[in-house]
Structure 1
Amino acid sequence: MQVFRAIPSVADRPVVLTIGNFDGVHLGHRALLAQLAAKAHALGVPAAVMTFEPHPREFFMHEKRPTRLTSLREKLELFRQAGVERVYVCRFNARFAALSAHAFVDDLLVRGLAVRHLIIGDDFRFGRGREGDFQRLREAGELHGFGVASMDTVEIGGERASSSAVREALEQGDLARAQRLLGRPYAISGRVEHGQKIGRQLGFPTANIQLKHRSLPLSGIYAATVTGGGLSNAPGAASVGVRPTIADGLRPTCEVYVLDREVDLYDEHVSVRFCHKLRDEARYEGLEALREAIAQDVANTRAWFAENPISED
């Protein structure tokens, strides 16, 4: 899969294209990507995705921006698994936001990408002030000779598959609902970095996942599995939150204690899959009380995995 950090001024070959943020790459997104790959195969051209970094809502909403379900790296891997051959990551800034619907079509879709066929979600809008819509794309397609199709909403168990619904499920600790919408257990991935090593001092050394500036849609203590750095679905107890016992105002972290393993995961890229929420994050009166709480979390994690054996799928 090829990844481009901008739209070229002139296309090197035609593509079948879809456009969107695709945060989480849930089952609705995956249905659209399957349709994209099938159409591209039929036309003999690459299946391509145009996506944005940062998410437009992050650009416009700043402090009220939604949490991210997937990092760019995670999203790209999910695209690759879905059969996408090209990804165009567009820097969403003031200049891009000011692009008119007409320029979006002429400069990006026609000249930059030579779109043969375009597949979009049923709520897709584009151009300055969201002035462009499906009908405008249909008219542009008739003028420039590319097809346009709209993907209907995908429902899972009577619920619309959407990134907002997945975020809501995770915020409520409903991992089963999130998994239904995603078609897989929710997971985060990142490089293991050095932390304050407080877990090691307490007898529970943890792998600290690098989040950079990313905030997560879930918090609390979880039974989880870890893959990467020589591990495959290794059971562990994961903590996501701001560690209120340690200090106030700390940035969110994701830490995981791998059960019954002594492994050096520093600088390894790992994936943490969340299986079951044990409890919410809490503040304790001192490190000894925190150590006792972690010990109980580890015991509860062991008990949960004893009743719910790990599946390899």
Structure 2
Amino acid sequence: MRVFHSIEEASSMMAAGSAVTIGNYDGIHLAHQSIIFELSRKARAKGLKSVLVTFDPHPSLTINPAKAPKLLTTTAEKIRLLEKGGLLDAVVVLRFDEALAKVSATDFLVRYLLAGLKMSILVIGFNHAFGNRREGTVQFLQGMAPQYGFELQALDPVLVGGEVVNSSRIRSLLLEGLYDKATALLGHELELTGKVVHGKGMGRKFGFPTINIKLPGEKIVPKAGVYASYSLIGSDKQTGMMYIGEPPQSGFDLEVNLFDFSGDLYGQTVSVFPTAYVRPPIRFDRESELIAQIGKDEEMIRLNYDIRQNKE
């Protein structure tokens, strides 16, 4: 899978034409995966390149930053998930600025997709819209498809337990601490990637040394509490437990205790994957009570959520 940052860059590999999907694809959840699978299937059948066009930053951060949602996936995390899926030939990450926000749906369709990517198939979700004022709706595209000679497929919503899968619902579930439900809709664990920074050393004092991770400002931080987790240290998976404070800690977002690990990770970028929500924060009157509870958390997580037997 190749990653491009402009239509002009990507056009060099589109001589045979392309099948395209377009959107924010925040989370690469089950509904997104359904679209990507169908896109890949159609592209292979017609000998076309399968292309996903997305944006950085999220359009809301440019159009209405005060109401912009926190992201399930940063652009780097999104690309890693798409590479792991192995179904796409190319991803085009367009910088979403005020100039792009003003491009009409017709102009985007004709110049970017049809002329630039030589698109002959467009696969989208049932409620997709693009272009200035989100005028590029399914109804709009249904009118344009015969006029410009491309095939349009708008997929039905994906349901899990009778619930429509979408990024907004997954964000809500994460903030409510319903992590199992959130990952059921995601179809994978949440990735939390950030830089290891210095903390106060309290974890080490208690006998449970932690790495403190600062996430990008646009990234969602799940509900406060203790989580079972694993972290990628190089190519190794390290089981551990993750704590999100309430109120948030000053200077960092996550504290992660890595079981049976003693390396120095300061300044490095680490990816943490929560596997289960264990408990909410608890306030203790005595330090000894806190240490005892952390020990119980570790014992339970080691017993039920140790992923080392599945180490890749």
TM-score calculated relative to the size of structure 2: 0.87
Cα distance, 1:172 vs structure 2: 1.2
Cα contact 2:74–2:219 (8 A) shared by 1? no
> Equivalent residue for 2:47?
44
Does residue 127 of structure 1 match 2:125? Answer: no
Could you say if the C-alpha distance between residues 295 and 60 of structure 1 is closer, same or farther in structure 2, counting changes exceeding 3 Å?
farther
* Cα separation, 1, equivalents of 2:80 and 2:235: 19
Q: Report 1:1-313 matches (<5 A).
A: 1-8=1-8, 11-12=11-12, 13=14, 14-82=17-85, 83-190=87-194, 192-198=195-201, 199-220=203-224, 221-229=226-234, 231-232=236-237, 234-241=238-245, 250-281=250-281, 289=287, 293=290, 296-308=293-305, 310=307, 312=310
Could you say if the C-alpha distance between residues 284 and 53 of structure 1 is closer, same or farther in structure 2, counting changes exceeding 3 Å?
farther
Aligned residue identity for 2:135: E
Cα contact 2:5–2:93 (8 A) shared by 1? yes
Report Cα offsets for 1:39-63 as digits up to 9, x if no partner.
1111212111011111122323323
Could you say if the C-alpha distance between residues 294 and 122 of structure 1 is closer, same or farther in structure 2, counting changes exceeding 3 Å?
farther
SS of aligned partner of 2:8:
coil
Percent identity between matched residues is 33
* Cα separation, 1, equivalents of 2:84 and 2:196: 27
Aligned alpha-carbon RMSD (Å): 2.6
* Cα separation, 1, equivalents of 2:10 and 2:51: 16
Give ranges in structure 1 of 5+ residues lacking alignment: none
SS of aligned partner of 1:8:
helix
* Cα separation, 2, equivalents of 1:2 and 1:111: 20
Cα distance, 1:26 vs structure 2: 0.8
Aligned residue identity for 2:46: L
TM-score calculated relative to the size of structure 1: 0.87
Cα distance, 1:219 vs structure 2: 3.0
Could you say if the C-alpha distance between residues 132 and 5 of structure 1 is closer, same or farther in structure 2, counting changes exceeding 3 Å?
same
Cα contact 2:221–2:253 (8 A) shared by 1? no
After the TM superposition, which of the residue ranges 6-15 and 150-159 deviates more from structure 2?
6-15
Cα distance, 1:11 vs structure 2: 2.9
Could you say if the C-alpha distance between residues 228 and 309 of structure 1 is closer, same or farther in structure 2, counting changes exceeding 3 Å?
closer
SS of aligned partner of 1:256:
strand
After the TM superposition, which of the residue ranges 38-47 and 139-148 deviates more from structure 2?
139-148
Give ranges in structure 2 of 5+ residues lacking alignment: none
* Cα separation, 2, equivalents of 1:165 and 1:236: 27
Q: Provide the aligned length of Structure 1 versus Structure 2.
A: 304
Cα distance, 1:119 vs structure 2: 0.3
Could you say if the C-alpha distance between residues 231 and 121 of structure 1 is closer, same or farther in structure 2, counting changes exceeding 3 Å?
same
Could you say if the C-alpha distance between residues 6 and 284 of structure 1 is closer, same or farther in structure 2, counting changes exceeding 3 Å?
farther
